[in-house]
């Protein structure tokens, strides 16, 4: 197909209006979804990802992309007005979504019977069946254990609901009411985008709209070409980080990324990454999504003004060795793939940090911590709380990392009032963890401690990482704190430590679960951080007096104010003893180095 930009152009003002109208429509999709959904994961935490695409299935605005063409191809062009597609099988959809909990909806958009684009959203369902509540078993060895798998099917065909498909999907969930509401919310969000795109075609003309979409792709491509030329080295640069374990006692698992440039093309090569895990931390990533993740990181790091879309895809080359942690063979388990997914970004930060350290960032909390509490209450009603927790976002060139923040910018914490009103749980403590943010000129974000007092008998599942391998610091910054999990039985005072990945932990009324997430690495020399800011962090409880002196070289008065004269003297001595700060502080000895030694 010939792009519209080959024959026509759109004036800059119209292009700007269409661009911002599409951005607004994308955020309106979010608004519609969170108002209709019922589950705390989507309604409160916003674990849903919308996009608007052109007629070829390329994302123009959104957060994820690349999967539309493969779904259209599966149906051999049988795509009609009023059709709505749904699926959740990562393998059948070529990795467009990465575990069974994500239900994806796609709607073709027609204007006067002409296909002008697609809208799509996927969102995390609280439960899709499988061996454990929440459908993310920590000990799964195959995807068969992780719940219902639905290949791309039409849930609406020319406007008519396929009740059979809906019934099958809901019949295999422990939370059918929530799933139904959340699915219909995703569909409503897609329909909203369809309405807005049709309005743009009515307002400016269909050809103008479609040409504008192609111009937005071309503009992003040119901007990315400049970024690649400036920030990607021709000579290969490699970096390795680790996932703690796979939930079955295996690990740590190595992830190695090599970045290089060939002309205008950036090459991202995962050769050297460990073979697929026995447990469910494998990440079956679509090559296009892999490009998207690299692209969004580069845009956010080097030029945030660039519109995030798929225009740059041909400028990226991806190598994903088959049978590896990032390209597992069917039927590898996938449910806890976010432990690997987020390390993806740490590896990219580390590799780019070797070439442009002044613009890179440290490592973060490196996963997506989950807390799931399920059971039957005193009224014999089933309950299932699922919450995503957050940790330290890394120190960066611009400033300190965020404390207890999500990797995904639009995610938010579940309000404590919501949890306590709808579930038999009391939240006794929710606070940053002192000294968990890596010391640096710009401090790493702190992890969080959340204490759940459980009011009913039930079972708990926990998924987390960065318990063994700390988040590293960069440019002289130091590593951040690791995660830990504890249970305090009713009537006892001493906590017992539990693994970072565990299912079906039996709990009783009055038991408490203490969930501590990892912090993040610091950026830059901590001995250069303003003493007054260190003193402020001590007063806020983010840094201890001991760490202020040991890592920052700051002497405090009795009322936690900086003693500037004593601090200057201590720092001068500390710099002489230390010498030049290291480029990276890992806080551990990598396994390869241990073996060599």
State pLDDT tens for residues 147-192.
999 999 999 999 999 999 999 999 999 999 999 999 999 999 999 9
Question: How many H-runs (helices) and E-runs (strands) does the chain carry?
Answer: 13, 22
From the number of C-beta atoms within 10 Å of its C-beta (0-12, 13-18, 19+), residue 7 rates as exposed
How high is the pLDDT of residue 300? 84
Q: Give the confidence band of 386 by pLDDT, cuts at 50, 70, 90.
A: very high
Whether 419 and 532 share a structural domain: no
Of 239, 240, 238, nearest in space to 591 by CA? 240
How confident is the prediction for the chain on average, in pLDDT?
94
The Cα 440–Cα 173 span in angstroms is 46
- The position carrying tokens 């204007």 is 111
Whether 403 and 551 share a structural domain: no
How high is the pLDDT of residue 5? 44
In the predicted structure, residue 596 carries a pLDDT above the cut 50:
no
Residue 257 lies in a domain: no
Whether 503 and 531 share a structural domain: no
From the number of C-beta atoms within 10 Å of its C-beta (0-12, 13-18, 19+), residue 115 rates as middle
Residue 456 lies in a domain: yes
How high is the pLDDT of residue 88? 96
Q: Which of 221, 241, 275 is the last residue of a domain?
A: 221
Q: Give the confidence band of 538 by pLDDT, cuts at 50, 70, 90.
A: very high
In the predicted structure, residue 4 carries a pLDDT above the cut 50:
no
Of 108, 100, 102, 97, nearest in space to 72 by CA? 108
CA-CA-CA-CA dihedral for 245, 484, 544, 431, to nearest 10: 120
Instruction: Provide the CB-side half-sphere exposure for 189 (13 A, CA).
Output: 35
Q: Report whether the peptide linkage leading into residue 44 is cis, meaning its omega lies within 30 degrees of zero.
A: no
Whether 569 and 425 share a structural domain: no
DSSP code string of 355-394: H-GGG-------S--EEEEEEE-TTS-EEEEEEE--BPPP
Of 102, 139, 42, nearest in space to 462 by CA? 139
Residue 447 lies in a domain: yes
Instruction: Provide the CB-side half-sphere exposure for 536 (13 A, CA).
Output: 6
Q: What is the CA radius of gyration of the chain?
A: 25
What is the three-state SS of 12-36? HHHHHHHHHHHHHHHHHHHHHHHHH
Q: Which of 170, 203, 221 is the last residue of a domain?
A: 221
Whether 436 and 544 share a structural domain: no
Whether 467 and 543 share a structural domain: no
Do the beta carbons of residue 206 and residue 55 sit within 8 Å? no
The Cα 73–Cα 570 span in angstroms is 66
Q: Give the confidence band of 2 by pLDDT, cuts at 50, 70, 90.
A: very low
> Can you give the residue range of the structural domain that contains 388?
361-524
The Cα 357–Cα 523 span in angstroms is 10
Whether 565 and 504 share a structural domain: no
Structure tokens at 161: 């609901």
Do the beta carbons of residue 482 and residue 467 sit within 8 Å? yes
By DSSP bridging, strand 253-262 and strand 265-269 are: antiparallel
From the number of C-beta atoms within 10 Å of its C-beta (0-12, 13-18, 19+), residue 596 rates as exposed
Residue 353 lies in a domain: no
The Cα 84–Cα 193 span in angstroms is 13
Residue 277 lies in a domain: no
The Cα 24–Cα 30 span in angstroms is 10
In the predicted structure, residue 211 carries a pLDDT above the cut 60:
yes
Whether 461 and 560 share a structural domain: no
What is the mean pLDDT of the segment spanning 263-291?
Answer: 94
From the number of C-beta atoms within 10 Å of its C-beta (0-12, 13-18, 19+), residue 337 rates as buried
The Cα 203–Cα 370 span in angstroms is 45
By DSSP bridging, strand 584-585 and strand 473-474 are: antiparallel
How high is the pLDDT of residue 588? 74
In the predicted structure, residue 1 carries a pLDDT above the cut 60:
no
Whether 508 and 454 share a structural domain: yes
Task: Say how many residues make up the chain.
Answer: 597
Of 348, 317, 330, 328, nearest in space to 255 by CA? 348
49 pairs with which residues across the strands? 122
Whether 144 and 120 share a structural domain: yes
Whether 534 and 491 share a structural domain: no
Residue 230 lies in a domain: no
How high is the pLDDT of residue 594? 57
Whether 517 and 538 share a structural domain: no
Provide the whole-model pTM. Answer: 0.93
Q: Give the confidence band of 70 by pLDDT, cuts at 50, 70, 90.
A: confident
Q: Please give the tally of structural domains in the chain.
A: 3
Q: Give the confidence band of 592 by pLDDT, cuts at 50, 70, 90.
A: low
Structure tokens at 7: 């024959």
pLDDT digits (tens, 9 = 90+) for 463-476: 999 999 999 999 99
Q: Which of 181, 203, 221 is the last residue of a domain?
A: 221
Q: What is the largest CA-CA distance in the chain?
A: 77
Residue 64 lies in a domain: yes
Q: Which residues contact 577 (CB under 8 A, 6 or more apart)?
A: none
């Amino acid at each position: 197909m010939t792009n519209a930009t080959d024959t026509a152009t759109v004036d800059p003002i119209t292009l700007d209006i269409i661009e911002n109208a599409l951005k607004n429509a994308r955020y309106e999709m979010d608004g519609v979804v969170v108002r209709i959904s019922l589950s705390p994961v989507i309604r409160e935490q916003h674990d849903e990802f919308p996009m608007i695409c052109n007629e070829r299935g390329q994302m123009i605005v959104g957060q994820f992309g690349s999967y539309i063409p493969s779904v259209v191809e599966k149906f051999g062009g049988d795509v009609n007005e009023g059709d709505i597609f749904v699926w959740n099988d990562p393998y059948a959809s070529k990795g467009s979504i990465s575990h069974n909990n994500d239900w994806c909806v796609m709607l073709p958009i027609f204007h006067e019977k002409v296909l002008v684009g697609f809208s799509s959203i996927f969102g995390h369902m609280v439960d899709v069946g499988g061996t454990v509540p929440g459908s993310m078993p920590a000990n799964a060895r195959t995807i068969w254990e992780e719940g219902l798998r639905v290949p791309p099917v039409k849930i609406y065909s020319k406007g008519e609901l396929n009740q059979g498909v809906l019934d099958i999907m809901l019949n295999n969930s422990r939370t059918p009411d929530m799933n139904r509401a959340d699915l219909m919310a995703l569909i409503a969000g897609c329909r909203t985008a369809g309405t807005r795109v049709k309005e743009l075609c009515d307002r400016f003309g269909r050809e103008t709209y479609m040409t504008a979409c192609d111009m937005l792709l071309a503009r992003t491509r040119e901007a990315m070409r400049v970024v690649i030329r400036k920030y990607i080295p021709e000579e290969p640069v490699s970096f390795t980080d680790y996932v703690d374990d796979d939930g079955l006692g295996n690990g740590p698992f190595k992830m190695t990324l090599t970045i290089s440039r060939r002309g205008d093309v950036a090459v991202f090569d995962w050769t050297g990454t460990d073979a697929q895990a026995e447990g469910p931390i494998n990440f079956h990533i679509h090559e296009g999504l892999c490009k998207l993740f690299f692209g969004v990181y580069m845009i956010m790091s080097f030029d945030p003004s660039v519109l995030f879309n798929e225009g740059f895809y041909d400028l990226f080359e991806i190598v994903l060795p088959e049978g590896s942690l990032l390209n597992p063979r069917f039927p590898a388990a996938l449910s806890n793939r976010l432990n690997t997914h987020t390390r993806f970004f740490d590896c990219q930060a580390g590799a780019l940090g070797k070439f442009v350290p002044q613009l890179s960032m440290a490592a973060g909390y490196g996963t997506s911590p989950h807390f799931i509490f399920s059971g039957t209450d005193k009224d014999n009603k089933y309950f299932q709380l699922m919450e995503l927790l957050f940790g330290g976002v890394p120190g960066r060139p611009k400033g300190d990392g965020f404390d207890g923040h999500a990797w995904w910018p639009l995610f938010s914490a579940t309000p404590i009032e919501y949890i306590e009103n709808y579930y038999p749980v009391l939240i006794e403590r929710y606070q940053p963890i002192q000294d968990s943010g890596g010391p640096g000129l710009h401090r790493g974000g702190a992890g969080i401690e959340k204490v759940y007092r459980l009011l009913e008998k039930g079972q708990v599942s926990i998924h987390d990482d960065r318990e063994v391998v700390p988040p590293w610091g960069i440019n002289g910054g130091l590593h951040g704190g690791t995660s830990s999990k504890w249970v305090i039985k009713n009537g006892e005072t001493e906590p017992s430590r539990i693994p970072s990945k565990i299912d079906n932990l039996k709990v009783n009324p009055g038991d408490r679960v203490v969930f501590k997430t990892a912090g993040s690495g610091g950026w830059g020399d901590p001995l250069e951080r303003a003493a007054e800011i260190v003193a402020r962090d001590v007063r806020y409880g983010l840094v201890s007096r001991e760490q202020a002196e040991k890592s920052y070289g700051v002497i405090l008065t009795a009322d936690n104010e900086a003693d500037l004269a004593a601090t200057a003297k201590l720092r001068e001595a500390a710099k002489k003893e230390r010498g030049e700060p290291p480029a990276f502080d890992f806080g551990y000895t990598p396994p390869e180095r241990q073996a060599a030694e």
